[in-house]
Amino acid sequence: MSKITFLGAGSTVFAKNVLGDCLMTPALQGFEIALFDIDHERLQDSANMLNNIKKTSGSTSVIKSYTDRKEALKGAKYVVNAIQVGGYDPCTITDFEIPKKYGLRQTIADTVGIGGIFRNLRTIPVMLDFAADIREVCPDALFLNYTNPMAVLTNVMNTYGGVRTVGLCHSVQACIPELFKSLGLEKEGVKAKIAGINHMAWLLEVTKDGVDLYPEIKKRAIEKQKEKHKDMVRFEMMLKFGHYITESSEHNAEYHPYFIKRNYPELIDRFNIPLDEYPRRCVNQISRWKQMREDLVNDANLTHERSHEYASYIFEAIETDVPFKIGGNVMNTGLITNLPREACVEVPCLVDRNGVTPTYVGDLPPQLAALNRTNINTQLLTIEAAITRKRDHIYHAAMLDPHTSAELSMDDIVAMCDELIEAHGSWLPEFS
C-alpha cells in the first residue's frame, strides 16, 4: 500500500482540502493517508473529518493517525508539510508586538521582514528534524512544503535536509483569476507566464489569442487606483515597475520600503494597508473554530469537492504519467539567470512519472530581478543564521530587509533582534 503522510494534520481545514482531494482522486485509491500532529485532539478531529469524507465518497484509502512521527513517515511515498511552529500565542504575538515598540509595523509577517526572519529561525530546526527522519525511513519520498516562510524552508530542506522538496503556494493559481475579476476582464482563454520568487513572482506575460493584455490591464488599473480597493499596493507596483505580482497587497506592502513608513503615515490610508492583519485573522479563526469544528468534524454526511490545491494533482500526475503543470518553488540552479543560484525560485514546472521538473526561464526584466534580490538577501542571511547559529547573521538578515532597514537604525535593529531572541526563549535554538 502506497502512503501519503501529512505533517501538521491538526490544520483541519487545510487537511480537508489537500487530503479530501486525495480521497476523491481515482489514481490515489488504496493509499494509506497517515496523519501526524503534536496536538492529539486536533489530530483526532482531522481523522474523524477525513473518515466522514471517506464514507460519503466511497474512497478505498485508509486513514490512520500517528503520535510517533517516524512511524507516520515510515515508507511514505509522498509527504505534505503544513506545520506552524509557535502558533499565534506566543510566537506570532511576539513577532508583532516587540517590533511595534521600535516603531516597526507589519501586516502579515510570515515571509521576510522581522516576523519572517524569526518564524524561519524557530521553524528550521523542526524541519531539519523532519529531514533526518525522512532520510532514515522514507529517503525517496517527495516532500511538498506548504509552510511559510516558503522560500527559506524549501531551500533548507533541499540544501541542508537532503530531501527532495517542492514548495507550493496558492498565489500562482490565484493570480490571473483575482486580477481579471478585479478589473472586470474575462479570464477564459488567457495564457500567462509567471516566475520570480515566492510571494514576489511576476506576471511576465499575459495574452489572449496572441494579443498582449498588459496595455488594457494597466489602463483599467489606473482608473481603479482612483478609488480605494484592497489591491492598491500591487497595482501601484505594476504601474511603477511594469508587471503584476502574484501575492496580495497586504503581503507586498511589507516586502518593499515604499509603503509602511512612520514619516509618511498618510501612505497607510492612501494604499489601504491593513496593519496587524495576520493577528486579526488568527483571532477570527480561533473564535470561529467552535462552529467550524461542529461542521467539519461531527458531520457524518460531510462531502468534499476537489479543490485547486496542487498536491493531489501532483500525486496523480506521478502515478498516471499524465502531465500536469504547476508553479513550484525549487532551487534555482540557473533557471532564472539573473537571480542567485543558491536561491529558491518560483517557476513553471512539469509533473509526470519523472517527478517535478522545473522549466528554464532565463533573465527576468532587470528591475524585477533587482526587487527579488532585495528579499533574497534577507532569505540567504536567515539561512546562514539558522545553520551557523551565529547571532550576527540574524542582525545581518534584518539589516538587509528592505522594510526594516528603511524604518530603523542599525543600533535599533540589533536591539530589537536581541529582545526578540530573548522573548522567544525555548522556541529558538541558542545563538552565539
How many residues belong to the chain? 432
Q: Which amino acid is at 185?
A: L
Q: Which amino acid is at 30?
A: G
Q: Can you list the alpha helix ranges (DSSP code H) found in 244-390?
A: 249-252, 266-270, 277-297, 310-320, 366-388
Task: Read off the C-alpha cell for 328.
Answer: 513550484
Q: Can you list the alpha helix ranges (DSSP code H) found in 24-168?
A: 40-57, 69-73, 93-101, 113-137, 150-159
Residue 229, CB half-sphere, CA atoms under 13 Å: how many? 19
170: annotated active-site residue: yes
Distance CA 18, CA 11 (A): 11
Task: Read off the C-alpha cell for 275.
Answer: 496593519
**Pairing between β-strand 211-212 and β-strand 324-331 as defined by DSSP bridges:** unpaired
Catalytic residue among 170, 243, 256, 424: 170
Task: Read off the C-alpha cell for 310.
Answer: 496542487
**Pairing between β-strand 200-208 and β-strand 190-197 as defined by DSSP bridges:** antiparallel
> Any idea what DSSP says for residue 87?
I
| Residues designated catalytic | 170
